[in-house]
Amino acid sequence: MKRRGFLQQSAWLLAATTAGGMGLVSRDPRLREVLAAPTVRKRALLIGINRYPESTGSDLSGAVTDVRLQEQVLQHRFGFAAKDILSLTDEQASRSQTLEAFNDHFSEVTANDVVWLHFSGYGSQVQPSPNSEAVEPSLVMADGLDLPLTTLWLLLRSLPTDKIITVLDTSYTYPGHPLLGNLRVRSRPSPTVVQLDDAQRQRQTQLQEQLRRANKPGLKRDGPGWVLSAATRQQVATESQWQGFSSGLFTYALSQQLWWLSPEASLTNLLTRTDQLVEAFAGGEQTPNICRGGIDQCAISGELPPPLVPQLAALGADGVILAKNPGNDPFKLWLGGLPVTVLNRYGVGSLFSVLPEPGTPPQTDVKLQLRSRSGLTATAQLWNGPDRQATDAESMVSGRLLRESVRILPRTLPLTVALDSRLERIERVDATSAFSGIRDVTSVSAGEQPADCVFGRVRRATIAQTYSSDLVQLPKDQGTYGLFSVGRELIPNSIGEEDEAIKKSVQRLVPQLQALLAAKWLTLTLNEGASRLGVRGTLSVLDPDESVVLQRQTRRARRAKGVRPLAGVEGTLDIPAGSQVQYNLENLGDRPVYYLMFGLDSSGRAVGFYPYETVADGNPPTLQQPPLNPGESVTLPWTEAETWSVGRPIGTVSMKLICCDRPFGQALTLLASRQNSPRNPRSLTPLESPLRVAKAIMEDLHRASLRKTDADAFPDDVYALDMEVWTTLNFIYRVV
C-alpha cells in the first residue's frame, strides 16, 4: 500500500477504540448503534520481547518499551481500564503462555467489544509444507518458537467481535545484516525460515473446525478487523536507541501522535504524521501499512465508514501524572507525548500545565516543573513561579493530563556520528581518531548508541541510484566515503573522491557536519502540536495536471473566528525533480508574527529564506523584518507568479518554517553580516555559517520567551522557550 493509503484507512479503527466513554461523531448508523451499547469494553493484549535464545541471534532492546508506550496511551487517552490491559514481556511471552493468555484474557469478549492486540519483537517466516517452497510470515516468541500469522488470524476470528485492531511492529524478511544504518532490524537473523511444526498444524486444524462448527465465515487465512504494520511485508521494521531508552520506530511515532489526538484534527491526518516520523528516520526502507484482514489485502475499501472525529475531553496532551509520592519531588510523570527528537535533549526545569479533569470548568493555570528525567519518565514538583496562586496539591492526582508550557534545552549540543558496521576495524579506528579532532562532533559504533548520521563507504550502486550518470563520475566498485542518514540513506553532497584516505574524508565533511548539527538544533524547536501561536503553513506543488499541497498547522492556538479547517496532505510527498513549488503562511492568531525558513535541500546543503527590508545603509546594513498581521497571509516567494524549482539530486528535503511573535533580531544581523554578495530577498539562499545561524535563531526565541517567563526562574546555561511565543513547522518531501 502506498503511504497515502495508510492514512486514509486509519480513521475507523482508532475511532472504534474511543467508544464507550469518550464519544464519537459518526454518520454510520451501525457504528452509532454499537457505540451506544452500554456494555462495550475495550481489552488489550500487549506483547513485547527483547530477550531471545542465543540461537535466534542478538537480543532486541526496544520491544518492552513499546508495550509501556501502548499501555499509557491506551489507558490515558483512549479509556482502556488498567484491568483490561494484559502485558506479556520477555519470558512471559513464550508461545504456549501467549496462547493461554489470549484465551483467558479474551474469554468474556462480546460482539460489541473492542480488542487491541500489539506485538513487538522478531518476525520471521514458516514453511507450511515440506513439499512446497511457499512461506508465510510468523511472530517469533520468547522461547524461539514461531507463531504463524495464520494461527493468530484464526484465533482472532474465533472471537465474537470483529472490532479488532492488531499492531505488528515487526518484519519477516531478514536483509542479511542486523542493522539498517544505526537502526536495528526486527527480522530474525537465524534461522530465516523454519518448518511449521506439528503442534501449530494441529492447532490450526482445531481452530478451523471450531469456526466451522460455529458457522462463522472465518475459514479464510487472513485476519479480521484491521492490521497496523510497521512496514510492508517485504520491507524491514526497525527500532532505535534514544537518550535513556530504545523503542520501535513505528510504535513510538504512532503512540506519540495518539497523545496529540484532538477533536479538531482528523484521525486520518494525525496518522499521516506517524508515517512522516518513520520516513524521517528510516527513509523509504520502512513504510507503515494499514490493511483490512491481514497484511496483504491493503486496498482501500469502499465500505469504510467516513473518517470519525473523537470528542475527547482534552485537545491533545504531552504526558500524564503517573503517581504522587511523598517528598520534595512528589509527582512521577510519563512524557510519551513529546516528539522523540525533542525528548532526547529535554531539560530539567521544563514546565507543564496540568489540564483540568474532564467535565470540570477551567481552573487557574497550574504548572509542574521537571526536577529529573530518565528516558520517558520524570519527577516534578509544583512550580512556584511569579504568577502561581496557592494550589491544593491534593487535587493533583494520577491520571491528570499535561501539556508543555516552557521547554528547557541545553546550550551545548553534540553531533553524534555512527561508524558503519560494514567498515573494517582499521577504518573504524582511523575514523574515530579523525572525528575526535572536530569540535562538537563525537563518534560511536553503529547500533550501540543513539546517533544523528552514519559514516561509511558509498558504493557505486548507491551513487548511481541517487545521481544521473551524466551528473557525476561513478567511482570504482569499492566506492568512497560519505555520510548517510540513520536509516542509511545517502547524503549526496558528502561523497568523496576515489581512494580518499579516511582522515581527508572526515576533514572534507566538516561543512556537512556543521549543517547537520544546525538542523539538529532547530529540530529541537519543533512544536506543531504544543504551540499556542496560531499559524498554518502550506507547501504547494504547482503541476500542470494536478496541484498537491502539504499542510502544517498549530493545534492548540487561540485562533481568529472563521478559520477554515485544515485541508490537504499532511504526510511525506514525493516531488519530481524540476517541479515548481510555493509556500504559503497564514496568521490565524491574534498577534503579528515574524518568520524565516531554514532547511537542508536534497543534497544536504543548508539553505534559508529570510525576508527583510533595508532601513539604513552601513556595513553591515541594518535590516528590519516586516510583520505578518492577524488574518493576513503571505506567499513565499513573495508573489504568486514566482516559484522555487525543486532541484536534484534524488533525496529528502527538510524545510522548517519558524515563526515568532517578535522579530529575529540576532539571526537577521548575523545573516546580513555574513552575506558576501547581494542577494535576491525572494530566493532560497545557501547559508555560509548554518551553525551560527541556528544558534542565533535559538537565542532570538529564548529572548522572546523571557517576556512571558520570569528570567530568574531558569539558569543561564539553558534556552527557555515558551509555547506562547513561537512555532516551528516541518515540511519533509522526497525528490524523485
Residue 218, pLDDT above cutoff 60: no
| Element counts in the chain: helices (H) and strands (E) | 16, 40
Question: Considering only 261-265, 552-556, 695-699, which range has the smallest mean pLDDT?
Answer: 261-265
What whole-number distance in Å separates Cα of residue 425 and Cα of residue 274? 37
Residue 677, pLDDT above cutoff 70: no
Q: Residue 37 — pLDDT band, cuts 50, 70, 90?
A: very low
Task: Determine whether 58 is exposed, middle or buried from the number of CB atoms within 10 Å of its CB (0-12, 13-18, 19+).
Answer: exposed
pLDDT of residue 267: 52
Q: Which 8-state DSSP code applies to residue 328? A: S
Q: Residue 352 — pLDDT band, cuts 50, 70, 90?
A: very high
Q: Residue 659 — pLDDT band, cuts 50, 70, 90?
A: very high
Domain ranges of the chain: 3-310, 319-406, 415-508, 524-735
Q: What percent of the chain has pLDDT over 70?
A: 78
Q: Within 13 Å of residue 445, how many CA atoms lie on the same side as its CB?
A: 9
* Strand-pair category, 401-410 with 580-587: unpaired
- Decide: 683 and 612 in contact? Cβ < 8 Å: no
Instruction: Out of 3.40.50.1460, 1.10.10.60, 3.40.640.10, 3.30.420.10, select the CATH number for domain 3-310.
Output: 3.40.50.1460
Pick the more confident residue, 640 or 528.
528
Residue 258, pLDDT above cutoff 90: no
Question: Considering only 525-529, 566-570, 612-616, which range has the smallest mean pLDDT?
Answer: 566-570
pLDDT of residue 227: 86
Pick the more confident residue, 415 or 218.
415
* Strand-pair category, 594-600 with 644-645: unpaired
Residue 687, pLDDT above cutoff 70: yes
SS3 of 330, please?
coil
Residue 519, pLDDT above cutoff 90: yes
Residue 651, pLDDT above cutoff 60: yes
pLDDT of residue 342: 92
pLDDT digits (tens, 9 = 90+) for 118-153: 999 999 999 988 887 889 999 999 999 999 999 999
Q: Residue 38 — pLDDT band, cuts 50, 70, 90?
A: very low
Residue 526, pLDDT above cutoff 50: yes
Q: Residue 564 — pLDDT band, cuts 50, 70, 90?
A: low
User: Nearest CA to 188 among 141, 227, 229, 128?
Assistant: 141
Distances (CA, A) of 448 to 248, 385, 393, 520: 15, 41, 42, 20
Q: Residue 542 — pLDDT band, cuts 50, 70, 90?
A: confident
Residue 244, pLDDT above cutoff 50: yes
What whole-number distance in Å separates Cα of residue 144 and Cα of residue 281? 29
Q: Which residues pair with 453 in a beta bridge?
A: 417
Main-chain phi, psi angles of 586, to 5 degrees: -115, 135
What whole-number distance in Å separates Cα of residue 711 and Cα of residue 718? 11
Mean pLDDT of 705-726: 86
pLDDT digits (tens, 9 = 90+) for 72-95: 999 998 888 999 999 999 999 999
First-to-final CA distance of the chain: 18
Is the C-alpha dihedral spanning 490, 495, 500, 504 positive or negative? negative
Helix axes 665-674, 690-706, angle to 10 degrees: 160
Q: Which residues pair with 185 in a beta bridge?
A: 238
Residue 390, pLDDT above cutoff 70: no
Q: Residue 728 — pLDDT band, cuts 50, 70, 90?
A: very high
What whole-number distance in Å separates Cα of residue 722 and Cα of residue 724? 5
What whole-number distance in Å separates Cα of residue 98 and Cα of residue 142? 10
Average pLDDT, the chain: 82
Question: Considering only 188-197, 507-516, 579-588, 708-717, which range has the smallest mean pLDDT?
Answer: 708-717
pLDDT of residue 293: 66
pLDDT of residue 678: 47
Q: Residue 201 — pLDDT band, cuts 50, 70, 90?
A: confident
Total count of residues recorded for the chain:
736
pLDDT digits (tens, 9 = 90+) for 575-616: 888 888 999 999 999 999 999 999 999 888 999 988 877 766
pLDDT digits (tens, 9 = 90+) for 7-28: 444 444 444 555 443 333 333 3
- Decide: 291 and 298 in contact? Cβ < 8 Å: yes
- Decide: 180 and 487 in contact? Cβ < 8 Å: yes
Q: Residue 102 — pLDDT band, cuts 50, 70, 90?
A: very high
Q: What percent of the chain has pLDDT over 90?
A: 50
pLDDT digits (tens, 9 = 90+) for 222-236: 667 888 899 998 999
Distances (CA, A) of 682 to 272, 575, 582: 31, 22, 11
Main-chain phi, psi angles of 323, to 5 degrees: -160, 160
Residue 200, pLDDT above cutoff 90: no
Residue 211, pLDDT above cutoff 70: yes
The pTM of this model reads: 0.89
pLDDT digits (tens, 9 = 90+) for 477-508: 556 899 999 999 999 888 888 778 999 999 99
Beta strand spans in 40-180 (E)? 42-48, 85-89, 114-120, 123-127, 136-140, 146-148, 164-169, 179-180
What whole-number distance in Å separates Cα of residue 271 and Cα of residue 612? 37
Main-chain phi, psi angles of 357, to 5 degrees: -65, 150
Residue 562, pLDDT above cutoff 70: no
In angstroms and rounded to an integer, the radius of gyration of the C-alpha atoms of the chain is 26
SS3 of 124, please?
strand
What whole-number distance in Å separates Cα of residue 479 and Cα of residue 457? 6
Mean pLDDT of 725-736: 92
- Decide: 27 and 305 in contact? Cβ < 8 Å: yes
pLDDT of residue 40: 73
CATH of domain 319-406: 2.40.10
Residue 157, pLDDT above cutoff 60: yes
What whole-number distance in Å separates Cα of residue 667 and Cα of residue 669? 6
Mean pLDDT of 168-193: 95
- Decide: 341 and 526 in contact? Cβ < 8 Å: yes
pLDDT of residue 694: 96
Q: Name the grid cell of 375.
A: 528516558
pLDDT digits (tens, 9 = 90+) for 397-450: 888 999 999 999 999 999 999 999 999 999 999 999 999 999 999 999 999 999
Q: Residue 303 — pLDDT band, cuts 50, 70, 90?
A: very low
Q: Name the grid cell of 56.
A: 535466534
